[in-house]
Every structure is written in C-alpha cells, then in structure tokens.
Structure 1
Amino acid sequence: MSKQEEDAFRVAFDVFAVSTLLSPSAKHDYASIDYWNALEDPSSISKYDWSEFVMTRLLDAVTKLKQDVSSSIKSPIITGCSLFLQVLYLDSIDPDVLSMKHNSFPRIRDFSYDRMRLMIAAEQNCARGNDNTRDCKIRDAVDCRYHWAAQPERDGSRSGCLLAIWESSVAMAHLLKIPMEAAGSLFIAAADFQDQINSGLRVSEPIEFMSVLVSIMLPYTNGFNYQFSIDDDDNKAAEAGLAKFPSTLSNGL
C-alpha cells in the first residue's frame, strides 16, 4: 500500500468511525464536518483531542434531547456516542457475577457485544423487580475508577448516600409506574442536590428541586420513551447510503 493509499484509508476510516460510532447524527446520509481540520494531516490524526470532541458532541445531543422532552416529542432519536453512556452506566453498577474489575483500560475493551447484552438483561430484570435476590446497586466506590467515585467523602458515607439515592430513585419509578429509564435522571438530579448541600454552595430551594423531579417524570407519564433503533426501512436506506460512501469519499480525495 502506497503512502497516498495509507493516508486515504486513515481518513476514510476516521470519517466512518466518527459518523457511525463516536458522533453519529440523526440522519444516515449526513456527516458532520466540524472535525475535518483533524484530517488535513493524516499522519497527525492520533494527536487530535478526540475525547473532547466526543464529549462535546454528546453534551450537544443531551441538550437536544432535553429540548425534545420539553417539547413533548415522545420518541426522539438519540445522537452522540450513546455507547459511552452505556459503558459508563453498566460499569458503575454492580450486576453481581457479571461485575468486572477496573484493571484494564480503556474500559470499553472489556465490553463485548454478548457481555453487554447479559449485563443489560440482568439490570433490567433487577430494575423490574424480577430478581428477588438483590437490589439494583451502584458499584462500591473503592472498586470504581470513574470520576464520580473519586470525589472526596466528607463524612465517609458518600457511597452509602449515593446508594440510598439510587434505591430511592428506583423505588420512586416503581411507585409511580413509570419506565425505569427515569430512575437514572432522578438519581442525577437528587445526587446533584445533595452535592450542593455537602459543598456549602447555594442550595436550590426545595420547590425548585421538586420542580426538577416533576419535569423529569412528567414526560414519562405522557408516554415518552427512548428510541434506540431505527426501523427496517431506515435500516435499508442506511445500508444503501453506506454502500455509496466509499466511492464518494475516494472521489473527494
């Protein structure tokens, strides 16, 4: 393979990886170009701050999702690197025998397709109350290498407090008969409120906190749900679009 062919492959692979995994868009035939400056010198692609790029695009996707929820859009398509959120979540809970030690990095290398399916199924069974032997629990902070677990514990009970908040969030979702998807958002809101109290910052008024919880739960009571996949027609269109992509890219190069 010549130097020109190697460079063309690097650029093509990078565009494919960003468009399908690191920062997929809502349309199969559209790809963002806001990172193309990183492709100008193919030999320097690895020096680009891809972590910041992925996180920025993911935060943009979360902002859009919140706007869709507030606009009563019941099945918005999630963009951004949702795989990152899946790994972060599954690696931060304790699915019993499926738990993995945080001794290899990057963490995604331990998450095969089959293992993720098993962990998701175990978490769903637990969240739905089908597993009577244990509750859904957050991983012990001592065994976790993520930033949330590295926060200093002012009274030695942060992990216990987070666990109590999580279990309360799960119980609230059960009680109100809303999808367990809401438990994660309820947990984040409550944990943030608790952090405000612990840090001595200005604490939100209780009425503000309650308003946040209501704003999280209300869309779910109105039928909101995540749309993780596309239908068959869209899938065929996506495959057709990807089939044309290599020739289009090579012409551009």
Structure 2
Amino acid sequence: MKSSKNMANLQRPDRARMEGVCYTSVGIPVNSRLMERLEGEWDVDEEEEFKTIFLLISLEMVLCPTQSLRLACDLFPALTCAMNAASYNWCELVLNKLMESVASFARRFYSTGVAGGCGGCTIFAVVFYLDKLDRFPVQWGEFPRIKVWNLNQISLATKEDRIACGGDYGVMGTMDVAYGENHPKEARDTDGPCRVN
C-alpha cells in the first residue's frame, strides 16, 4: 500500500524491540516533521497518504490523545480506514478510549494515591461540565455545542466557578439541563420544557 510505505518513511516508532517472538512498539510519534508534511504540498495521487496522515494527527491530538505525543498502538488499525473515514462511528471509538483512559487513571490513583494525568478526548467532558453550570447559557440550542464554547467563554465560565483560595471548582453548582429542550434559565411562556426547533 503506497500510503503505508510513505508513512513508514516519514515516521518510525522511536523505540521498538524484539521480545521472544513478540514485536513491541511504543506508538507513532506525532512531531513537527509529520505536521510539516501534512501542511505541505500534495499531488492528486497522494490523497490516501494525506488522509492517513490527517487521521493519524486527528486521532492523536484531538480524538484519542495520549499522555505523550504518540498515536497509541491499538489505534494503528484505524489508520487503514482513512479513505472511508466518513462511514465509521468515530464517536464510539472516542468514548471508548476516554472510558479506558479514565479507568486506567482510576486504577493508578486508587492504588497509589497519585496519578499523572489522563489521556482520552476530554473535550466532551469539558463542554458537558460548562453546559451544566448554574448560569445563563451560551447560545443554547446551537449544535454541536463545541461551536459556542470558544476560549474566552471557557475562561469566563471556569473563573466564575472557581473557588477563590483553593483552586477547586464548584462555586456555581450545576443544574439539570437536557439538550434539545429549552434551557431552565431562559425565559419561556410554558410551565415546562419543550423541544427546541
């Protein structure tokens, strides 16, 4: 496959070793060289390579990030889907990887009392937290919700919810909101929630 051959020339795992008959890899590094290749010039016949590199970077940096700048080994098979990426359920993959990362974090934390971070796409968790804060909504009814939460909005909401001297969060509390319904803080003429059109 042309794409695999070209990708192997671009990036090889930094460390790989033979252990008996098993090959162990630490993942594909996502570094400036790979980013420069993605941002470079592409010919029409290089579509598969472009899509594969784009998917590799998207998986590592946004959808399924790890604690290092390397694509996790268990995601290598996903790179074979690059040409038909639109026909796959990436949401399920992202959620599964996030849940695996959270479970791994919890195991480390509860066994030692300390853990050094959690991989996985936390964008969903951040937007879900922000939308549930007991405050007036940011462009409620706009989907996907990630579109309305820019860095200024995120910064403002987190500052409002931060406990002054402890650094923890929880000043504002949360409220029960349901996507697809009117927000409880918005004015309405009815006695209960109704669907947003």
Q: TM-score range by the shorter chain?
A: 0.5 to 0.7
Aligned counterpart, 2:107: 67
Counterparts of 2:140 and 2:154, CA distance in 1? 16
CA contact (8 A) 1:95 1:123 kept: no
The amino acid across from 1:120 in the alignment is T
Per the alignment, do residues 118 and 126 of structure 1 end up closer, same or farther by CA in structure 2, a change over 3 Å counting?
Answer: same
Aligned counterpart, 2:67: 26
Counterparts of 1:127 and 1:10, CA distance in 2? 47
SS at match of 1:15: helix
CA contact (8 A) 1:25 1:80 kept: yes
CA contact (8 A) 1:58 1:79 kept: yes
Report percent identity of matched pairs. Answer: 22
Per the alignment, do residues 109 and 127 of structure 1 end up closer, same or farther by CA in structure 2, a change over 3 Å counting?
Answer: farther
1:107 aligns with 2:148: no
Tell me the TM-score normalised to structure 1 length: 0.48
Counterparts of 2:117 and 2:50, CA distance in 1? 30
Aligned counterpart, 1:153: none
Counterparts of 1:42 and 1:72, CA distance in 2? 39
Any gaps of 5 or more consecutive residues in structure 2?
A: 1-41, 184-197
**Which of residues 122, 144, 158 in structure 2 aligns to 1:120?**
158
Aligned counterpart, 1:6: 47
SS at match of 2:133: coil
SS at match of 1:87: helix
Counterparts of 1:120 and 1:89, CA distance in 2? 10
Of structures 1 and 2, the one scoring higher in RCO (CA 8 A, sep 6+) is: 1
Counterparts of 2:96 and 2:44, CA distance in 1? 32
CA contact (8 A) 2:55 2:82 kept: no
Tell me the TM-score normalised to structure 2 length: 0.60
Q: What RMSD, in angstroms, separates the aligned Cα atoms of the two structures?
A: 2.7
Larger strand proportion of the pair: 2
Aligned counterpart, 2:173: 137
